[in-house]
Amino acid sequence: MPRIQPLPDLLINQIAAGEVVERPASVLKELIENSLDAGATRIDVFLEEGGVRLIRVVDDGKGIAPDDLPLALARHATSKIRTLSDLEQVSSYGFRGEALASIDSVARVTLTSRTENTDHAYCLAKGQLAPAALERGTVVDVADLYFNTPARRKFLKSDATEFAHCDEVVKRMALSRSDVAFTLTHNRTPKRRHAATDLDCRVRELFGDDFSDHALPLLVEAGGLRLSGFIAPPTHTHASRDAQAFFVNGRFVRDKLLTHAAREAYVDVLHGNRHPAWTLFLDIDPSTVDVNVHPAKTEVRFREARSVHQFVFHGVTRTLAKPLATTFTPTTYQPSSYSKPSLVSEPTVTAYLDFAQKACSETPPPQTSPPLGYAIGQLHGLYILAQNETGLILIDQHAAHERVLYEKLKKEADTPSVQSLLVPVLLTVNAHEIAIASEYAESLAQLGFEIALIGPQELAIRTVPTVLSGGDLVTLVRALLTEFSENQTPSHAASRQNEILATLACHGAVRGCRPMSIPEMNALLRQMENTERADQCNHGRPTWSPISLAEIDKLFLRGQ
């Protein structure tokens, strides 16, 4: 066995570089974080060949004193922390003092910096310090990455791929600090330019109008925790997780706990294998979060992990669950033919003609209608047509009623309101269904169903939940027995309560092709406006869609 001996500094730095410097994007991240810690208000990034040949970061921060320039490239030398207590409550991006030393061990690094108290700048290159010309700030040049470790350079991808990773780093940094201006140039071609602005404008720049126009603003505070940002509604999801960004005290992280908490809030409204989009910022006491668990500082550990999980989960859930009536902002649109529709169930053709003539001859004052307006008819027995101040609303009657029933069932899950049937509903079943009804009798009773065996192949439904009393009880109970048969034990069924309630709501909701009267339609619309998550059914599909009068006018070439 060889004897134990200390490693040389060069080898130590290269081992550290293997942890910190994964690719050019890793270098760029560390350099931008240093610029932000220096108080920069503008950061310019220049790349060549995806950052492999050159990464240059220019900032207007406080700069580095001439005597400190050699120390900047020394291992574990930093201005961010001094004592153990500083390490326990880190509030800066960088603090370990090994990034520049690791980068310097696998690339050619040149530092040029000037503070406001010096007459001119100084440049550190190849260990030599010399005067240089520069306004206040710092310029870091990282050239020929992995020039002395060709084996690691072989693992880099194409220039386009490496640039894409660098571009993503700049995007995340620009998102975390909207008050800082960023530019990105690749091979002398400008790629990004973001002026200092507020978070709303920065989100629109980075994610586009589609996300910003539909995103829900989020802001919750409790127990020293603050969660803010934007979340996309379930109708604007993605096929991948690329549109998810989470920041803890301004630092971008990939944390399974936070991601799980946010995604769990979408369980009742997410369609299939789609992924929600969000940009969320969690502010927490630095002493309660450990940011030193990963060399690249992309993972964190919370002291009170369960509390943080519940805080994020409930914050996102409440934002998604706000009833339509509390989030709708009416916009008055007043064409000459606008009037509130008459709530009659079967108007005659003559009545419609009289109504149209009167409407065209008068200009009524602006009116304030409910968010989903008033029903004016039904399309093919599937969709409700409603009119509000902005135009036309199309409502999927089954999906909308399904969500309303589901939310009611969840609220009454512990003590459901039960209705006894004057005449029991009889259900012909097979031996397997009889066995399921007997085994899950207690679970059925907890849901509000009293089902008794009255014959060799016949069950009698005697009580049902009040909210489902108007549905097709035979179909509903069959679906419920099928749902129970897929569970291994009654205790397993209890853990899937929400899935069972969703099945009840789906089969208890008004079916397609079922005629509805105008009062019935309006009653459903009013219920939707006061129901949480009414924008989506239990499967994540939208329940309603607006068509503005401006869109309708275009169809008839009006106003052109």
The string of pLDDT tens digits covering residues 393-414 is: 999 999 999 999 998 888 888 8
Higher-confidence position of 302 and 272: 302
Say yes or no: 486 and 504 in one domain: yes
| CA–CA gap between residue 372 and residue 93 (Å, rounded) | 47
How confident is the model over 479-491, as pLDDT tens digits?
888 888 776 555 5
The rounded distance, in Å, linking the Cα atoms of 138 and 114 is 7
340 is a domain residue: no
For residue 470, is it within any domain?
Answer: yes
State residue 374 phi and psi, 5-degree precision. Answer: -125, 140
Whole-number pLDDT of residue 200:
92
Residue 113: the pLDDT is 95
Residue 205 shares a structural domain with residue 301: yes
Q: Is the pLDDT of residue 364 over 80?
A: no
HEC string for 85-120:
HHHHCCCCCCCCCCHHHHHHHHCEEEEEEECCCCCC
The pLDDT, as a whole number, for residue 281 is 95
- HEC readout, 26-94: HHHHHHHHHHHHCCCCEEEEEEEHHHCCEEEEEECCCCCCHHHHHHHCCCCCCCCCCCHHHHHCCCCCC
DSSP 317-344: HHHHT--HHHH--------TT--PPP--
Q: What is the mean pLDDT of residues 162-168?
A: 95
What pLDDT, on a 0 to 100 scale, did the predictor assign at position 387? 92
The CATH number of residue 406's host domain is 3.30.1370.100
Q: Which range has highest mean pLDDT (104-113, 317-326, 499-508)?
A: 104-113
pLDDT above 90: residue 140: yes
Considering the domain boundaries, does residue 332 fall inside one? no
Q: Examine the fold and report which residue of 161, 194, 227 is the final residue of a domain before the chain moves on.
A: 194
Tell me how many domains the chain contains.
3
> Are 407 and 547 found together in one domain?
yes
Residue 109 confidence (pLDDT): 94
Statement: residue 346 has pLDDT above 70: no
Torsion of CA 39, 43, 48, 52, to 10 degrees: 30
Task: Tell me the residue type at 518.
Answer: I
Average pLDDT for residues 282-290, to the nearest whole number? 89
Q: Are residues 376 and 483 in the same domain?
A: yes
Distance CA 42, CA 179 (A): 9
180 with 203, same domain: the answer is: no
* Domain, as residue range, for 363: 351-560
**Closest C-alpha among 303, 402, 345 to residue 518:** 345
Is residue 344 one of the residues assigned to a domain? no
In this model, does residue 350 exceed pLDDT 80?
no
Confidence of residue 85 (pLDDT cuts 50, 70, 90): low
**In sequence order, what are the residues at sequence separation of 6 or more whose Cβ sits closer than 8 angstroms to the Cβ of residue 371?**
324, 325, 328, 330, 388, 529
Characterize the bridge pairing of strands 278-283 and 225-231. Answer: antiparallel
CA neighbor of 290 nearest in space, from 233, 235, 259, 251: 251
So what's the pLDDT on residue 110?
Answer: 95
**CATH number of the domain where residue 112 is located:** 3.30.565.10
Residue 156, both tokens: 């880099």
Tokens standing for 120? 């001119």
Question: What average pLDDT does the segment 330-337 reach?
Answer: 41
Angle made by CA atoms 276, 281, 286, in degrees to the nearest 5:
140
Q: Is 380 among the domain residues?
A: yes
Q: Domain for residue 475, yes or no?
A: yes
Q: What is the mean pLDDT of residues 273-299?
A: 84
Shared-domain flag, residues 389 and 286: no
| Best mean pLDDT range from 8-12, 81-85, 264-268, 334-338 | 264-268
pLDDT in tens, 427-457: 888 888 888 888 888 888 888 889 888 888 8
**Lowest-confidence range among 161-175, 185-199, 416-430?**
416-430
C-alpha to C-alpha distance for 445 and 55, rounded to whole angstroms: 68
271 and 386 in a single domain? The answer is no
Place of tokens 């301004």: 250
DSSP-derived secondary structure for 502-523: HHHHHHHSPPTT----HHHHHH
- Name the average pLDDT for the chain: 83
Is 151 among the domain residues? yes
pTM: 0.75
User: Given this model, what pLDDT does residue 90 score?
Assistant: 67
Residues 175 and 188 placed together within one structural domain of the fold:
yes
Instruction: Say yes or no: 311 and 288 in one domain.
Output: yes
| Residues whose CB is less than 8 angstroms from the CB of residue 130 and which lie 6 or more positions away in sequence, other chains included | 122, 123
Is residue 417 within 8 A of residue 505, CB to CB? The reply is no
Note whether residue 336 is domain-resident: no
In this structure, the answer to whether residues 17 and 42 fall within a common structural domain is yes
pLDDT for 349 equals 39
Name the band, by pLDDT with cuts 50, 70 and 90, for residue 360: very low
Q: What is the pLDDT of residues 201-237, one digit of tens each?
A: 999 999 888 888 889 999 999 988 999 999 988 878 8
Same domain, 47 and 181: yes
Specify the range with the lowest mean pLDDT, choosing from 65-79, 256-270, 311-325, 489-503.
Answer: 489-503
User: In a 3-state reduction of DSSP, which class is residue 247?
Assistant: strand
252: left (phi over 0), alpha (psi -120 to 50) or beta: beta
Higher pLDDT, residue 45 or 155: 45
146 and 224, same domain (yes or no): no
Beta strands in 389-490 (DSSP E): 391-396, 418-428, 450-455, 458-465
What does each C-alpha distance from 537 to 292, 299, 331, 398, 468 come to in angstroms? Answer: 42, 35, 26, 9, 17
- Asked if residue 307 has pLDDT above 90, the reply is yes
Identify the CATH number of the domain in which residue 298 sits.
3.30.230.10
Domain boundary residue among 278, 300, 321? 321
Q: How far is CA 283 from CA 249, 262, 504, 531, in A?
A: 5, 16, 40, 31
pLDDT surpassing 80 at residue 558: no
Higher pLDDT, 323 or 555: 555
